[in-house]
Chain A
């Protein structure tokens, strides 16, 4: 006999408030070219050049910038897309 397996994925959302959005943060690093970061933000998030450029400058001078917000699942997707392009990105609840 067998029984339905429990979900492998831990429900770490339990203790947090569902309405607080999650955010994707891009962190400054000394390797990625400024022009490349701008290019990737335009390509991944559909931002205008000026918006992407401003976010890149925040990353560069302030050390980090929030580049998107939404559900935890959406932010995991965005972080994975950033990692695919080599940006140093993390997600956290706002």
Chain B
């Protein structure tokens, strides 16, 4: 699979396995984003008036903690207090944005997830896909504890082999999508 630009839109042909794997990962991401922490739609009044929500504690799940890192540097008590306040004011919005990206990807995949097919994305959908693919890689990569030296193609008896393969594939997919919006990024 590879994203290409065609007639002002971006498209990719996914086979049945690719579409099913991606749809399943996006479903898991949506579940993760809904777990713990206040969902803004559950408290529309608080959302409307920009009230803080949640208690500002760091998510327990390492993947979620990577999606919503502490905002203040340093181990000082002041930084901890400030990071907690930051969470209370921003995390619901951040979650909502990531959820919207994932939902857009899920919607685009719905027609193709059973037997594969071509997804066609406009510019707004491209941004949603880029963000969602990145969130998937952050969660998966954090769980797999990848480093810059991790071999993404280990031998088959490595219990992480399949997950690392999927992780590598997501990176390739994201890189190919990036290439359709600014081809020069490949220089980076």
Contact = CB atoms under 8 A, between A and B. Distances in A.
A42 B188 CA distance: 12
A91 B73 CA distance: 6
B138 A31 contact: yes
Given A33-B171, A33-B178, A8 B52 contact: yes
A25 B74 CA distance: 12
A90 B69 contact: yes
B94 A84 contact: yes
B148 to A, nearest CB: 5
A38 B175 CA distance: 12
12 contacts: A9-B85, A30-B141, A30-B146, A33-B174, A33-B175, A49-B182, A49-B184, A83-B68, A83-B71, A85-B131, A89-B71, A90-B70
Given A38-B185, A92-B72, 14 more contacts: A30-B146, A30-B147, A31-B137, A31-B138, A36-B134, A38-B188, A39-B130, A39-B178, A39-B182, A49-B182, A76-B86, A84-B98, A88-B66, A91-B72
Nearest to A25: B73
A34 interface: yes
B8 to A, nearest CB: 20
A77 to B, nearest CB: 9
Nearest to B144: A31
A49 B186 CA distance: 12
Interface of A: 8-10, 12, 25, 30-39, 42, 49, 53, 56, 76, 79-80, 83-86, 88-92
Contacts of B74: 92
Contact of B134 (A12, A25, A85): A85
Interface string B60-71: 000000111111
B175 A12 contact: no
Contacts of B147: 30
Interface in B149-188: 150, 171, 174-175, 178, 181-182, 184-188
Contact of B185 (A39, A79, A83): A39
Contacts of A42: 182
Interface string B25-60: 000000000000000000000000000100000000
Contacts of B97: 84
Nearest to A8: B52
A8 B51 CA distance: 10
B142 A31 contact: yes
